[in-house]
Structure 1
Amino acid sequence: MTEIRWAYALNQWDTNIDAFVRKRDHERAFKTISISGFSAIELTAESFGPWEPLGTPQQIADLYGSLDGFRQVLAGCALDAVSSYVYDPFIGFDVEMGRGSEPLDAASIPAITRTAVWFADALAALGGSVLVVRPVGSAWQTGPLSNEQIASLADCWNQVAAAVRASGISLALHFDFLSALRLEDGLARLLDATDPQLVGLALDTAEFAVAGFDPVEVFERHADRVHHIQLKNARDVVDDAEAATPHAEQSVRTEGGPRRIERWFFEPTDEGGLVDFEAFMRSVARHGYRGWIVVESDQSPHPAESAMVSGWYVQKVLAPIAAAEFHAVPESTPEHV
């Protein structure tokens, strides 16, 4: 990919397993995203069968006849591609709502690889280029990762990345605010342990902000490994103690923790947000990032409005910053897949 391309995550429309299942609802969302100035969508892997018709390649084919049929629908809505799929290996796909695999368990690598290749092949057919993966469980489950655990994770994701690269797809590790990688510099240790030619980072601005990290500083530190960017805002921070709450995915992320936070993520335009998007974009352009930038607002109560406001902000503020900084980037800057 030789330029920054803008996509929009579809997850904010999909608020419940039976809330976004009809083609007409999909097409309305696609057209809203398109007229807002985005050229692609990002999908999230789900295992609820027909209740999540965009959750797997098989479900897409069942609803739209084939992956090509789905891509034609996207083209009819003036969208070029599915930029990326977000895959959590802890979710199983052999049965609906099944249990997946543990990346720390070497015996799980073949199963994770098969599923990753399944999604990567679909992405290749849908014009995408990045498989975004959750690399490890939450902090409350593992505590700080040992050197041996980091080595095990690196072996897993090196193998998976090599397998999906055969389909022309890049692998990017996604850091979430409850991740074990938040502890004792786990993210940097994992990136150092993985093959930089194969394994990249998906930098989600809000997830880092909620975890107490400045996304600009994270990008500056790991710019050469960033293969994918997700933009959204956040207002509140979760410290290590709160992240260590048992079953934090439910008690903190879903229920809001003891502070009863109703919504963790917001549009980039949110005035109360923690992320300095203009500074972030200057850093992104200065380092010569080439690839997808996906805007998200995955807890928006008004998804169409959020998409349109975000599209305005991209076109009027963020894209011009990138264009202005682009001219200062050396031509020899390496591209990301």
Structure 2
Amino acid sequence: MIRWGYAINQFNPQFDDFVRRRQHQRALRVISISGFSGVELSSGSGRWEPLGNPTQIAANFGSVAGFGEFVREAGLDAVSSWFWDPWTRFGEDLTHGDDPTDPAKRDGLIAHAEWFAAALAELGGSVLVVRPAPYAGQVPRLDDAAIATLAASWEAVGTAIAAHGIRLGLHFDFLSSLRADDGLERLLAATDPTLVGLALDTAEFAIAGRDAVAAVRAHADRIVHVHLKNAAAIDTDEEYLTSAAEYTVLRAGGARVVPRWFNELATEPLLVDAPGVVAELVRAGYEGWVVVESDFSPHPATSVMLNGWEVQHVLAPIS
């Protein structure tokens, strides 16, 4: 059975825009009234990220369980998942990021993964979604040794969080170093599928020039989580290889000054066939969360409601 959730990230475009409990309540209620039953959180650190990690949640809501009650009071069933960027620096324990390409950082990587997984389990979630590799503009091409190191790191994480009943989902994005030289496919082939799954993001695949429906078909046996969103443009000039592309390309639009890389599900151009993706998931027997996203939306509540209509009237009937 497919469960429908929504990502909280579009409500928090700037570090100080989403810090008050009333703002959190409104966001969760909008997600609920739009027909979704779960919410995906995003990792962060410090007082400006009250939903960014378990320590901040406990500080702002009394406990992780207290936040779970806050979520349910808004009409949602659970926190479906947590998106964690392991390069995040956490002021809570004065750590400086956990690079999975560095074996010396593996103990920290595992410890932070378990930190999130334990809270997720308490909040009714099932998948820890992670950025598995550096951005392409930050590192050389990933050779076989680098892929082997990444595989060992993420298998160790998958083993650790399985003890909490949480699955690991690798999130491929269009800026990733895994985009070159079949990096994603090589990493999946090098990892144990019982420990390391794929969190498929339809728009990221589309922007990278890959068909999302074909991606579901190709990776059906590895998909443990889905981010469903539409793409507005394709990175035809391979700007993902440029330095600091996470700012100059993703946020500033690159050389073409793309206004938004991500669109609502039914907004043209329809570079992602959302009904086709859902139908393919159903054919594959997928059971889990499909989390809709509207990253960098200038009108977050409107985007949630537009996507909610599409899910309720077009996509959910398919599932």
TM-score normalised by length of structure 2? 0.97
| 2:183 counterpart residue number | 186
- CA drift of 1:240 comes to 6.3
Residue 301 (structure 1) aligns with = 298
Q: What's the secondary structure of 1:82's corresponding residue?
A: strand
Instruction: Find the partner of 2:75 among 70, 73, 78.
Output: 78
1:25 maps to what in 2?
A: 23
* Contact 1:266/1:299 (<8 A) preserved: no
Q: Which residue of 2 aligns with 1:15?
A: 13
- Look up the match of 1:198: 195
- Paired residues, number: 319
Q: Is contact 1:134–1:175 with CA below 8 Å preserved after alignment?
A: yes
The equivalent of 1:100 in structure 2 is 97
Greater CA drift, 237-246 or 249-258: 237-246
Residue pairs, 1:248-267, within 5 angstroms: 248-267=245-264
Aligned-pair CA distance for 1:96: 8.9
Counterpart for residue 274 of structure 1: 271
Instruction: Give the superposition deviation at 1:314.
Output: 0.6
Which of 57, 82, 89 in structure 2 is aligned with 1:60? 57
The Cα shift of 1:94 comes to 3.9
How has the CA–CA distance of structure 1 residues 97 and 7 changed in structure 2, closer, same or farther, with 3 Å as cutoff? farther
Q: Which amino acid aligns with 1:42?
A: E
The equivalent residue for 1:246 is: 243
How far does the alpha carbon of each residue in 1:84-125 deviate from its partner, in whole angstroms, 9 at most, with x for none?
Answer: 000111112145996312111111111111001000001001
Q: 2 CA distance for matches of 1:74 and 1:254?
A: 30
Structure 1, gaps ≥5 residues long: 323-337
> 1:319 maps to what in 2?
316
Q: How many Å separate the matches in 1 of 2:305 and 2:251? A: 26
CA distance in 2, matches of 1:309, 1:241: 31
SS for the counterpart of 1:85 is strand
Give 1:278 shift.
Answer: 1.2
Aligned residues of 1:91 and 1:97 also touching (Cα < 8 A): no
- Aligned: 1:214 with 2:208: no
Match for residue 227 of structure 1? Answer: 224
CA displacement, residues 110-161 of structure 1 (integer Å, 9 cap, x when unaligned): 1111001000001001010000001100112224311111111000000000
* Higher mean displacement: 7-16 or 138-147: 138-147
Aligned residue among 161, 168, 173 for 1:171: 168
Question: C-alpha separation between the residues in 2 aligned to 1:23 and 1:85?
Answer: 19
Unaligned runs of 5+ in 2: none
What SS does structure 1 have at the residue aligned with 2:220?
helix
Distance 1:102 1:231 in 2: 27
For residue 79 of structure 2, give the secondary structure of its aligned residue in structure 1.
strand
Question: Could you tell me which residue of structure 2 aligns to residue 332 of structure 1?
Answer: none
8 Å CA contact retained: 1:173, 1:199: yes
Is the partner of 1:279 in helix, strand or coil? Answer: helix
AA aligned to 2:35 is: G
Query: 1:218 deviation in Å?
Result: 1.0
Partner of 1:6: 4
Q: Is the 8 A contact 2:232 2:268 kept in 1?
A: no
Deviation of 1:191 (Å): 0.3
SS of alignment partner, residue 121 of structure 1: helix
Identity %: 53
- Does the 8 A contact of 1:7 with 1:83 survive in 2? yes
Give the Cα separation in 1 of the matches to 2:308 and 2:158.
32
Contact residue 18 and residue 51 of structure 1 kept, 8 A = yes
Offset at residue 237 of structure 1 (A): 1.1
1:333 aligns to what? none
Residue in structure 2 matched with residue 113 of structure 1 by the alignment:
110
Supply the AA of the counterpart residue of 2:118: D
- TM-score scaled by structure 1? 0.92
CA distance in 2, matches of 1:240, 1:90: 27
Q: In the TM superposition, what is the alpha-carbon distance from 1:282 to its structure 2 partner?
A: 1.1
Q: Distance in 2 between matches of 1:297 and 1:110?
A: 34
Q: Matched residues in 2 for 1:97 and 1:312: separation?
A: 43
The aligned residue for residue 158 of structure 2 is 161
**Offset from partner CA, 1:208-248 (integer Å, 9 cap, x none):** 11111111111111100000000111111114631111121
Q: Residues of 2 paired with 1:62 and 1:228: CA distance?
A: 29
- Give the root-mean-square deviation of aligned CA atoms: 1.3
Task: State the Cα distance separating 1:72 from its structure 2 match.
Answer: 0.8
